[in-house]
Chains A and B, each alone.
Chain A
Amino acid sequence: MTGQSPPNSRRRLILIERLSENILPILVFIAALAIWEALVWVKAIPPYILPAPSRIATTLLADWETLSASLFVTLRITFAALFAAMIGGVGLAIIFTQWKWAERSFFPFAVILQVTPIVAIAPLLLVYLDSSLAVLTCAFLVAFFPILSNTALGLASADRHLVDLFQLYRASRWQELLWLRLPAALPYFLGGLRIGGGLALIGAIVAEIAAGSAGQGAGLAFRIVESGYRLNIPRMFAALFLISVTGIAIFLAFSFLSHLLLGRWHESAHKGER
């Protein structure tokens, strides 16, 4: 009977490992919140300096109507920008790989756009475009480059021998693109999308803050600026909280998408299971 015990104790070990893997970070997070809450109460810090987590939560509920409307605006801009960046990035990457001269001529522009800090372009865009379009453009510009460069890299890194094979079987350029280069680029594209998703949110927030009171879009960043003017610090924190949650949700959603699409073949989707 004792001979049977190792698998059992091993299973218990794995269970403990799992628990600590998932529960530990949550516990630490809760502890941090508790300390914060306690600190605010003990030191009697006024909410216009540092609101307690409970106060932020009640503000979030009380102002939900305003905040959720702003969340929706920010989400709409982020996803519209991301969608445009996806179409533009993938489209341009395909054009780059199909026509080398296009890559040589246009890639420098993409790089210039990328290395110029978005905060520096935002005021200029606000001069030329109406504020909601300017915010959208900012978010698009930052999300566009990682998607373009990752997809272009992916399209160019199809297995050399598979390329030979397609040539051997006299595949047309479009067959090669459709059945070899695009699937080979998928993991790279998804990596770019994950980065681009986070950046689109940042771009939208930065542009909205630059727009300041001129912004009529009233996204989450506008709420932060507005709360700052009114010294409504709990609401500022509540808006900040929503932005963080949005960022995390975007990242998780794209990780999950990668897992769905690459699950059966790509290394990056294997979670160490062998």
Chain B
Amino acid sequence: MTAAPLVQLHNIGKSFANGVVALEGLNLTIQSGDFLSLLGPSGCGKSTALRLIADLSSPSLGRIEWPQGEQARQKIGFVFQDSTLMPWTSVFNNVFLPLRLAGVRKSEADYRIHEALDLVGLRAFESAFPGELSGGMKMRASIARALIQRPQLLLMDEPFAALDEITRVKLNNDLLYLKAELGMTIVFVTHSVYESVYLSNRIAVFASRPGRIVRMIEIDAPYPRDLNFRHSALYAQCCKTASEALQGAMSLEDQL
């Protein structure tokens, strides 16, 4: 993997008006092509970190650098835990949203929307309303919307946490497929050790109060990954490492 930094967080601190220090001294380099998972206990500032990268909020301290220029920053995809679709309109119009806001006409966007829907296997449901879809399908629509602009960076905040195990495993594989197809960089927040090991090449383990990275774990398994990887000794080993790191992060908290 060619290691060219896409985003660098330098000594980031974030505190809120109510006095909560969500992040302190956060240093993180996201390489182009990374599948980076952020793993940590609840409230350790993972969502806050994503929002800072997406420029939805600004750091109280430190700076965020985009070494490859600003164009990557202009096009970021974001997927939330709940699929966050507009319930009053069709899947097609939901996926159209980013282009529509950028001033693209529907007739010009048509082809790209269908392409995005094909990628996530929702072409047949373009005129369905979100309320008529299952949880997994809603999430697919949400991913299609995030991908419509072909972002270099895709941020995902616990996207599959609300889904059942079977759907989740399926979507894990689909996400790996999409990444291989489109080659974007992904930062993925999760509470699941197994999910993070299966998907990522790197896992940043967070501790809380204040939120910071206490451990960086490399998963040295090649892509594409499949069931064989899930059953391999390396997978088990990595899960153990990540799990122990998470335990360590949580015990740091208990000492306070």
A-B residue pairs, 6 tightest by C-beta: A161-B84, A265-B87, A169-B101, A161-B80, A183-B88, A171-B101
CA distance A159 to B88 in the complex (A): 12
CB-nearest residue of chain A to B54: A168
| Interface of chain A residues 147 through 199 with chain B (CB within 8 A) | 159, 161-162, 164-171, 175, 179-180, 183-184, 186
Name which of B51, B82, B101 has the most chain A CB atoms within 10 A of its CB: B101
Q: Is the CB of B101 within 8 A of A166?
A: yes
- The tally of CB-CB contacts under 8 A between chains A and B is 47
Chain A to chain B contacts (Cβ below 8 Å), 20 pairs: A161-B80, A162-B84, A164-B51, A165-B84, A165-B97, A166-B101, A168-B54, A169-B98, A171-B101, A179-B86, A179-B97, A179-B100, A179-B101, A180-B86, A183-B86, A186-B88, A264-B132, A265-B131, A266-B87, A266-B88
Option from A164, A171, A179, A266 in Cβ contact (under 8 Å) with B78: A164
A169 contacts across to B, CB distance below 8 A: 97-98, 101-102
DSSP class of A's interface residues: helix, strand, loop or mixed?
helix
Residue of A nearest to B157 (CB): A161
Q: Mark B60-97, 1 if CB is under 8 A from A, else 0.
A: 00000000000000001010101010111100000001
Since A164-B78, A265-B129 are in contact, a sample of 15 more A-B pairs with Cβ atoms closer than 8 Å, ordered by chain A residue number, is: A162-B86, A164-B56, A165-B97, A166-B101, A168-B55, A168-B76, A168-B78, A169-B101, A171-B101, A179-B101, A183-B88, A264-B131, A264-B132, A265-B87, A265-B131
* B59 contacts A by Cβ under 8 Å: no
Which bracket fits the contact residues of A? 20 to 34
Whole-angstrom CA separation of A170 from B76 in the bound complex: 11
Residue B130 at the chain A interface, CB threshold 8 Å: yes
Considering the complex, give the chain B residue whose CB is closest to the CB of A166. Answer: B101
Measured CB to CB, the nearest residue on chain A to B149 is A169
> Roughly how many angstroms separate A159 CA and B82 CA in the complex, as a whole number?
11
Residues 122-143 of B at the A interface (beta carbon under 8 Å): 129-132
Taking a contact as CB atoms under 8 Å apart, the answer to whether B84 and A159 are in contact is: yes
Q: Closest CB of chain A to B105's CB: distance in Å?
A: 15
Q: How far, in Å, is A154 (CB) from chain B's closest CB?
A: 12
A168 pairs with B56, CB closer than 8 A: yes
Q: For the complex, give the distance between the alpha carbons of A84 and B97 in Å.
A: 33
A179 to B55, CA, bound (A): 22
Q: With A169-B97, A264-B129, A265-B129 given, is the CB distance from A161 to B82 under 8 Å?
A: yes
The complex places the Cα of A166 from the Cα of B100 at a distance, in Å, of 11
In the assembled complex, the CB of A188 is this many whole angstroms from the nearest CB of chain B, namely: 13
- Shortest CB-to-CB span from A18 to chain B, Å, is 25
